[in-house]
Amino acid sequence: MRDHLLLFINGQRHEVRGRDAFLSLSDYLRIRCGLVGTKIVCSEGDCGACTTLIGRTAASAAEFNYKPLDSCIQFLFQLDGTHVVTVEGLRRDGTLNPVQQAMVDCHGSQCGFCTPGFVMAMTGLLEEQETVDEHQLRTGLTGNLCRCTGYTPILEAGMKCQDAEHQRLGELYPAEPMLAEFERVANDSLQLESQSFGERQIACCPVALDDALEFLAANPNATIVAGATDIGVRANKAHQLPPAILDLNRIADLEFVKAEYGELRCGARTSWTTLLAAFRQAAPEFARILQLFGAPQIRHVGTIAGNIANASPIADSLPFLFVMEATLVLASKSGRREVNINEFYHGYKKLELQPGELIVEIRIPLPSESELLRLYKVSRRRDLDISGFTAAVRMQLEGDAIKQASIAFGAVGPTVLRAKQTERFLVGEPLTLETMQTAGDIAVSEVTPIDDVRGSAEYRRQLTRNVLLKFYHQTQGNLAQV
Ligand SMILES: Cc1cc2nc3c(=O)[nH]c(=O)nc-3n(C[C@H](O)[C@H](O)[C@H](O)COP(=O)(O)OP(=O)(O)OC[C@H]3O[C@@H](n4cnc5c(N)ncnc54)[C@H](O)[C@@H]3O)c2cc1C
Ligand code: FES
Ligand code: FES
């Protein structure tokens, strides 16, 4: 049993054990390593000041695939077998890398707090592709906020740096010696433990799913951690992590996507970045919503099962999964069972998931070409914002009449809900403006929204009506998708 994790930071080997294994990556970098170039501003994944690049590798790959992540909501125990690159690690022999130099040349920095995060996010973009256009640059930087310089010089720097030759991280830090070290310990059982002020904390980071289920059977109330984009925020606000943790990050069997027999099957730990790529082909309407999900730093680690199990009534994936009748495969030591997602929520944060159980797979039937599907996310700003209202409307027509209707609303009750009475009313009716106006009246009687900072109950009732009218105009009229 290994009692420490092994990772590299800017090419340096680190063995991390005890209390340090439970620190956020940003705290570890700043406090333990003195790498204070990584800044902490919000501690909630919202500003990108703490962006670092994390290199992971697939089983047989010979190099790391680097992605920008928010280090304030990543924990050390998630990072066994990774190579972390910080803003200090970009400079070689006293020379700034092209992105850093362009930020200087274009005056892209004033107070400087956001600057390392922008530099890391841009370097990450240029790791993925040699050149980016302005749209790709803007999209790639949606997770980074600047409060004083303004974005024009930063975007100019992002475009200008592409004129210079960019040295890839694989050239700066050859992967081979690091991978050789990782290979020696890749299949070890890993259990991390901390004793601090009389309190014991454990994190089990297994490689095999069976070991995870064994740990859950012995610790049925352990907190499951996947990407930690929800848990990390919660832990930072509470200033503590739960006492027993099951980390899924080393379980390769939980990360897969397969499109077959009209459905998309994915492992619980599949990230939104991977799913966004898969849904561009399989269900472009859902991909459009995923493009607005958080920001790249969040999508690279946030997982589908995390979104489902977090059980927020404003979770962006749920309306789609509800109307597509997605199936959740749950596993425990005593076996597997399947649950329709519409039966998974019993109340606010009350799940069908039992202690000792884990979501292992999600099966999503894909929309056929003959059916109509529209998804809606309403938020105060377009990118990196929490939804104030969500909806999914799916219909199949036979001639002029509606043969089948599925409608789900989010942010209008304690859970995402199916508008069953509205669906029943619609079947057999013609798809006309009048039908959808009546459907809107019925739908409003089915929802129970509350007033909160993101909108009043009345506003949400109005949206419930309006999306049904919008669905009609989009599918039967000339209203473009917005
Ligand atoms: C800045 C920011 C922006 C965000 N933007 C959006 C957004 O636009 N839309 C949106 O819907 N959400 C958003 N989120 C929320 C979050 O990113 C998503 O809910 C994400 O999918 C959670 O996945 P995760 O792997 O990070 O979950 P984690 O934080 O690891 O876990 C979340 C919950 O799920 C449980 N869990 C995880 N995996 C499993 C499993 N396999 N089986 C059982 N339980 C499990 C955990 O125990 C925990 O209770 C945002 C979060 C942040 C910080
Ligand atoms: S400090 Fe703001 S995202 Fe981490
Ligand atoms: S330079 Fe001050 S926040 Fe961007």
43 C-beta closer than 6 A to ligand 1: no
Question: What is the CA(455)–ligand 3 centre distance, in A?
Answer: 30
pLDDT the model gives residue 337: 98
The model's pLDDT over 275-293, given as tens digits with 9 standing for 90+, comes to: 999 999 999 999 999 999 9
pLDDT the model gives residue 93: 81
Question: What is the CA(102)–ligand 2 centre distance, in A?
Answer: 23
48 C-beta closer than 6 A to ligand 2: yes
444 C-beta closer than 6 A to ligand 2: no
Which residue minimizes the CA distance to atom 4 of ligand 3?
Answer: 146
Domains and CATH numbers, the chain: 4-88+172-247 (3.10.20.30), 93-166 (1.10.150.120), 255-476 (3.30.465.10)
Crossing angle (nearest 10°) for helices 98-105 and 115-128: 130
Counting ligands in written order, the one closest to the CA of 153 is: 3
Residues in the chain: 482
pLDDT the model gives residue 453: 85
For 199, phi then psi, to 5°, come to -105, 135
Tokens 């590299």 belong to which residue? 8
Mutation probe of ligand 3 site: the residue of 103, 104, 113 with most atoms within 8 A of C-beta = 113
Q: List the one residue out of 299, 288, 293, 294 whose CA is nearest residue 482.
A: 288
Mutation probe of ligand 3 site: the residue of 115, 151, 155 with most atoms within 8 A of C-beta = 115
Mutation probe of ligand 2 site: the residue of 38, 40, 54 with most atoms within 8 A of C-beta = 40
Low-confidence spans in the chain with pLDDT less than 70: 59, 478-482
Asked if 417 and 447 count as a contact pair (C-beta separation under 8 A), the reply is: yes
Mutation probe of ligand 3 site: the residue of 148, 152, 154, 155 with most atoms within 8 A of C-beta = 148
Question: What is the CA(46)–ligand 2 centre distance, in A?
Answer: 6
47 C-beta closer than 6 A to ligand 2: yes
Name the percent of the chain in helix, strand, coil, to the closest 5. Answer: 35, 25, 40
Which residue minimizes the CA distance to atom 3 of ligand 2?
Answer: 45
Those residues whose C-beta lies under 8 Å from the C-beta of residue 337, and which sit 6 or more positions away, are 329, 330
Enter the pTM of the model: 0.96
Of all atoms in ligand 3, which is nearest to the CA of residue 110?
A: 1
Question: What is the CA(119)–ligand 3 centre distance, in A?
Answer: 12
411 C-beta closer than 6 A to ligand 1: no
145 C-beta closer than 6 A to ligand 3: no
308 C-beta closer than 6 A to ligand 1: no
149 C-beta closer than 6 A to ligand 3: yes
74 C-beta closer than 6 A to ligand 2: no
Counting ligands in written order, the one closest to the CA of 157 is: 3
362 C-beta closer than 6 A to ligand 1: no
Mutation probe of ligand 3 site: the residue of 103, 119, 147, 151 with most atoms within 8 A of C-beta = 147
Counting ligands in written order, the one closest to the CA of 330 is: 1
The helix or strand, by DSSP H or E, that contains position 377, with its residue range, turns out to be: strand 372-378
Tokens of 450: 């509350």
Of all atoms in ligand 1, which is nearest to the CA of residue 308?
A: 34
Using CA of residue 447, residue 453, residue 459, residue 463, what is the dihedral sign?
negative
SS (H, E, C) 349-375: CEECCCCCCEEEEEEEECCCCCCEEEE
Asked if 19 and 28 count as a contact pair (C-beta separation under 8 A), the reply is: no
DSSP code at position 102: H
Measure CA 52 to chain center. 16
Question: What is the CA(147)–ligand 3 centre distance, in A?
Answer: 5
Angle at 13 between CA 10 and CA 18, to 5 degrees: 115
